[in-house]
Amino acid sequence: MPKFISSLLSNNKEEEEMMMNPTSSDQSQPEAQQLVLGHNSGSLSFSSNMSLDDDHEEMSRSALSTFKAKEEEIQRRRLEVRDRVLSHLGRVELETRRLSTIHQELEALADPMRKDVSSVRKKIDLVNKEIKALGQSCQKKEREYKEAVEAFNEKNKEKVQLISKLMELVSESEKLRMKKLEELSKNLEI
């Protein structure tokens, strides 16, 4: 049983004891008052003492019955409070179990997602590293390609220039040979 309930029940017992003690002192007060009255008057008759005893007895019975009624009422209320507290405790325990179950279900739902998410994130990180390396390689190869294309174009231009020079030389050479042949042929005719 939780501490606050046991302390609540023990406080009720203390209240009952306190209620028992003041009523008993209340009962002794009329006796003390009667004794004081008896001593003060000094000469009360025996019959008045008898009627005082009857009154005292009747007051005692009345006080006792009142005390018993109050005690029963206190006991009844204490039991009602205890029953209500136990009822609330039962509901609290049920709700605690229900919340615990819901919490476990939420954890079970969250765990696979977390594992999948972390796995996908790791794969993304690996792919990012590969992409970075490939990007650097691609840039390097693009530079090399551009340099190779420039070199190819230069060589191609050089080739075109050389071919045109060759064509010029061949053409000039043919002209010169033709000219020589014509000269030789003229020399032969003469």
Whether residue 136 lies inside any domain: the answer is: no
Rg for the chain, CA atoms, rounded: 62
CA distance 56 to 49: 10
Position 61 pLDDT exceeds 80 = yes
User: Residue 41 has what pLDDT?
Assistant: 45
The arithmetic mean of pLDDT across residues 38-63, rounded, is 64
The arithmetic mean of pLDDT across residues 68-89, rounded, is 92
For the chain, give the percent of residues with pLDDT over 90. Answer: 46
Whether residue 155 lies inside any domain: the answer is: no
- Domain, as residue range, for 90: 3-122
Angle formed by the axes of helices 46-189 and 3-41, nearest 10°: 160
Looking at per-residue pLDDT, the higher value among 120 and 9 belongs to 120
Whether residue 52 lies inside any domain: the answer is: yes
CA distance 79 to 82: 5
Mean pLDDT of the chain: 78
Looking at per-residue pLDDT, the higher value among 104 and 138 belongs to 138
Whether residue 32 lies inside any domain: the answer is: yes
Whether residue 187 lies inside any domain: the answer is: no
The closest alpha carbon to 14, from 81, 99, 78, belongs to 78
The arithmetic mean of pLDDT across residues 78-90, rounded, is 92
